[in-house]
Amino acid sequence: MYKNLTFTFIGAGSMAEAMVSGMLNSTIFVAKQLIVTNRSNTAKLQFFKQEYGVNVTHDQAAALEKADVVILAMKPKDVTAALDGLKPFITENHLLVSVIAGVSTTSIEDLLGINIPIIRAMPNTSAAIGESATAISRGQYAIDLHQKIAETLFLTIGTVSLVDETDLHAVTGLSGSGPAYVYYLVEAMEKAALELGLNQKVSKELILQTIKGAAEMLKASPKHPSTLRKEVMSPGGTTEAGLKVLEEYQYQEAMINCIKRAAHRSHEMGAEIENMMIKLR
């Protein structure tokens, strides 16, 4: 069934590349099923063709005519103009899969002016190695078959969770942006290791295995993270000393506010898109 479908990507940025890479690393999809488009960046399209062997074109109308599934992967700021230009070529027979942060299925329906099935998704860039944490939600015209197609697509690049669309702002702040928070933590750990005189190669190996081990421990253990944290500590020991510094700097509060701010920004972007739509009417 899935090998008979053609997937057209509108946008050739980092998320499109992560998804293409993940899909082709699976055994479900092949390069000839994928079409990648953008408006004018020929060099980027040539990269996709050479690196992944997919079909590429600037002719989005032709790409949409061949498509069964259309993956909206443009930047949020470009969505209004992009969909307005695509409107004549998108039909109710297409399944739209949107990975645009902050933009609701209702906004996309209103921009296109048709009753079209939409699956809204929030993957993250770990899709490139098949380790994305993706949440999806169904638009009002999507049915079980559409959900199944989207789940199959995103399972090739990691895990999939079905959520209410109203929860996707929180998902965006948590797992959509989440890899960047981890990379930021690793940056800090590497700087600390350097200042302590550790060899860079050795410190990187230790850091990555520590994070991987902690993640696997969280996955395997029924214990709450706070319990696992306390099990690492001993009174008056090194871990307690380090954690006291994090408490002094309000590390947990900073992380909580970080995630909330990212989620709120998702809300803001959605509102900005709706305001742009109002101006176009």
**Do 118 and 253 belong to one domain?**
no
**Do 140 and 60 belong to one domain?**
yes
Residue 221 lies in a domain: yes
For 42-56, b where at least 16 C-beta lie within 10 A, e where not — what string?
eebbeebeeebebbb
Position 250 scores a pLDDT of: 98
Residue 20 lies in a domain: yes
The residues, any chain, with a CB within 8 Å of residue 150's CB and separated by 6 or more, are 95, 97, 119, 121, 136, 160
Q: What is the pLDDT of residues 224-251, one digit of tens each?
A: 999 999 999 999 999 999 999 999 999 9
Residue 265 lies in a domain: no
**Do 40 and 121 belong to one domain?**
yes
Residue 92 lies in a domain: yes
Nearest one of 150, 174, 7 to 101, comparing CA atoms: 174
105-112 helix and 251-280 helix, angle to the nearest 10 degrees: 20
Do 46 and 157 form a contact (C-beta atoms < 8 A)?
no
**Do 90 and 152 belong to one domain?**
yes
For residue 241, the enclosing domain spans: 178-260
Do 62 and 40 form a contact (C-beta atoms < 8 A)?
no
Residue 279 lies in a domain: no
Output the pTM of the full model: 0.89
We report the CATH number of the domain holding residue 135 as: 3.40.50.720
Task: Average the pLDDT over 201-207 and give the result.
Answer: 97
Residue 21 lies in a domain: yes
Residue 172 lies in a domain: no
Task: Average the pLDDT over 86-97 and give the result.
Answer: 95
| pLDDT of 11 above 90 | yes
**Do 150 and 207 belong to one domain?**
no
What is the band of 280 on the pLDDT scale with cuts at 50, 70, 90? low
